[in-house]
Structure 1
Amino acid sequence: MDNNKKIKWGIVGLGRIADEFAKDLQLIESAELSAVASRNLEKAQEFANKFQCPKAYGSYDELFQDDSVDILYIATPHDSHAELTIKALQNNKHVLCEKPIALNYQDTLQMVKTAKEYNKFLMEAFWTRFNPSVKEVLQHVQNGFIGEVKYVNADFAFVVENLEGNRTTDMKLGGGSLMDIGVYPLFLAYLILGIPKEIAAKSNFHATGADLQTSIILQYESAQAILHSSFLSSSNHKATISGTQGRININPQWYMAESYTLIQGEDKEKIKRPKLGKGYAHEIEECHACLWSDKIESELWSHQNSLDLIKIVEDVREQIGLVYS
């Protein structure tokens, strides 16, 4: 792709996350919001007007068929990620798909196969992977700053005031704390320690069958991770990576951090790494770098990374008995 031309984006699904994403898109000089789509044309037009976007569609298919759009950001509920991503790829669109990339491993595998078949870029929108603090923390771990990692602790929890009639508990939309926010702590454990040998998990459930809070222990050869997600209570939103020679705290809110703290004995050093905008800007920049290099996947968050993570999530679901139709 010509890196002298602006990359034209389309957004599919226009909820809160899409709004935040569009704001960050405006911070990237090489990006242009070219078209948006909702199943409600009035909503699409309102969104387009807000962000000075020239095209608004009242169906996703219309956007898929717009030849002027280079890449689509899929920001719909979890249950539709696989279907819409595959359809977009088949219409020769590159895709950034919101996390979790799909509800199960087989759907994710089909998405990856389609991207390869049509030679189109596909990446899961795990924006935390491209956060400056998180990237540096991983480098410190890989460089042996804290010795051999023995323990990872991370949580993501907040109170959902009205659980009734809410997408967070709607099983048709892939509801539950695990799929919505529990994937973040699982992502961090996977990033640092890889694929676990064993998984133990327990949940409390809503009447719909969605998990309201889930606690997870990942067992590795010589390390453990303890992780938690909840819609019932709040948490510190701090992550800790502990090793034989020290530890690293990713400061609140760790999944969108602007600083981290290195600790060795009594020595502590807080390092500030401001993010650009809300933090979505960094994954947008990664997409652009990959497109300019004609890559169909990112080296920082690859197709295999997404497959590995969704398999871990699927194993946790089996442990807790979280079943989608």
Structure 2
Amino acid sequence: MTRNINWGIIGPGRIAKKFTTSLREVEDAKLYAVASRDLQRAEEFARENGATKAYGSYVEMLRDEEIDVVYVATPHAFHYEHTLLCLQHKKAVLCEKPFAMNRQQVEDMIAAARENKVFLMEAMWTPFLPHIKYLCEMLDSGRYGKVKHLSADFGFYSPFDKNGRLFKKSLGGGSLLDIGIYPVFLALHTLGLPEKIEAKALLGKTEVDEVCDVVFSYASGAKAELHSNITEDTPTTAEFELEKAKIKIEAKWHNPSTVVITTAEGTTSKTFDVASFGYEYEARHVQEMLRKGKTESDVMSFDKSRELISLLDAIRKEIKLEY
């Protein structure tokens, strides 16, 4: 591996642009190449974001021996195909969330990573963000007692477009996989796997969930109420009710934000600012894993991705959403 870790990008869209902006904050990281099935699009992205090379073919880029790791940022429905392609070319992969469309695809991806002895991680940036780490420290400290209730939402208004990524079923559209995954992961990360799952959704004209409401019930008696919505703006906050305190992550909670703790003694808050969008934390972690010769993250592990996709599969079953 070169001194700089050379990144390749598959899928030069909006999320890839934000990721590459954050990558500039990562020590010894270099945006080396970008690939699109449209060479002109790849060249334009490379010019705008400082990539050394642009390719009009994924395979052509993956044959470039200078690339150490590939960030897969294509639409949800293609994560499986494109991740397997990278792994078959012995390239380490950071694949955007959701990892794949179902548990079986995730298992296939994990098997391919192990077979090819290369690193693979789902790009769920949440556990790497400073404010989420701080939240978990507060929850784990025990000073505020046990969690009794979690409420978390993520919603924004998107004009209906039957061919748009968010509304097109063949691209894995809908609120759950795109943004509902964040509240679901927050519940999983802080409370573990639920004992019971209840869910209901509004399926729109294109048969994807435009609104999704989920309730997780835990053996401890705790509940998590989770909401996602692509038809209107919502507060996009997360609030934990504990025995001795309330901990709120202010809008937009999935991004670096402010954590407010309220107890009988008063209120304290801590704001977490970042130099970029915040993707630098997961990218830095990937580089650390690569330098240590790891093939699996010790934070966003294969088991964590298995648990997450299993919850998403169970919710989809409840709301009768099939892709």
SS in 2 for 1:164: coil
- Counterpart of 2:45, as a letter, is F
Tell whether the 8 Å contact from 2:160 to 2:167 is kept in structure 1 after alignment: no
- Counterpart of 2:316, as a letter, is R
Partner of 1:300: 299
Partner of 1:167: 165
Q: Superposed, which structure 2 residues align to 1:129-278 within 5 Å? A: 129-221=127-219, 222-278=221-277
Selected match of 1:115 from 101, 113, 116: 113
- 1:254-306: CA deviations, max 9, x gaps? 00023211221241110122123001111111101111111112222111101
SS in 2 for 1:263: strand
User: In structure 1, how many angstroms separate the alpha carbons of the residues matched to 2:308 and 2:96?
Assistant: 14
Number of equivalent positions: 322
Tell whether the 8 Å contact from 1:250 to 1:257 is kept in structure 2 after alignment: no
- 1:28-52: CA deviations, max 9, x gaps? 2310011100110000000011122
SS in 1 for 2:251: coil
Partner of 1:320: 319
Q: Superposed, which structure 2 residues align to 1:81-100 within 5 Å? A: 81-100=79-98
User: In structure 1, how many angstroms separate the alpha carbons of the residues matched to 2:307 and 2:10?
Assistant: 25
- Counterpart of 2:216, as a letter, is L
Q: TM-score, normalised by structure 2?
A: 0.97
- 1:102-121: CA deviations, max 9, x gaps? 01001001111111111111
- 1:113-140: CA deviations, max 9, x gaps? 1111111111111112211000110111
Structure 2 residues not aligned, in runs of 5+: none
Q: TM-score, normalised by structure 1?
A: 0.97
Structure 1 residues not aligned, in runs of 5+: none
Tell whether the 8 Å contact from 1:7 to 1:32 is kept in structure 2 after alignment: yes
Tell whether the 8 Å contact from 2:17 to 2:49 is kept in structure 1 after alignment: no
Partner of 1:286: 285
Give the deviation of 1:53 after TM superposition: 1.3
User: In structure 2, how many angstroms separate the alpha carbons of the residues matched to 1:92 and 1:286?
Assistant: 20
User: In structure 1, how many angstroms separate the alpha carbons of the residues matched to 2:208 and 2:113?
Assistant: 31
SS in 1 for 2:145: coil
User: In structure 2, how many angstroms separate the alpha carbons of the residues matched to 1:171 and 1:39?
Assistant: 21
- Counterpart of 1:245, as a letter, is K
Give the deviation of 1:25 after TM superposition: 1.0
Tell whether the 8 Å contact from 1:259 to 1:272 is kept in structure 2 after alignment: yes
CA RMSD of aligned residues (A): 1.1
User: In structure 2, how many angstroms separate the alpha carbons of the residues matched to 1:163 and 1:146?
Assistant: 45
Deviant stretches of 4+, over 6 Å: none
Partner of 2:102: 104
Higher mean C-alpha deviation, range 284-293 or range 138-147: 138-147
| Percent identity (aligned) | 39
Higher mean C-alpha deviation, range 272-281 or range 69-78: 272-281
SS in 1 for 2:170: helix
Q: Does 1:38 align with 2:36?
A: yes
SS in 2 for 1:213: strand
- 1:204-242: CA deviations, max 9, x gaps? 111111110000001111211000000111111110112
- Counterpart of 2:224, as a letter, is A
SS in 2 for 1:255: coil
User: In structure 2, how many angstroms separate the alpha carbons of the residues matched to 1:162 and 1:134?
Assistant: 32
Tell whether the 8 Å contact from 1:251 to 1:257 is kept in structure 2 after alignment: no
Partner of 1:51: 49
Higher mean C-alpha deviation, range 33-42 or range 269-278: 269-278
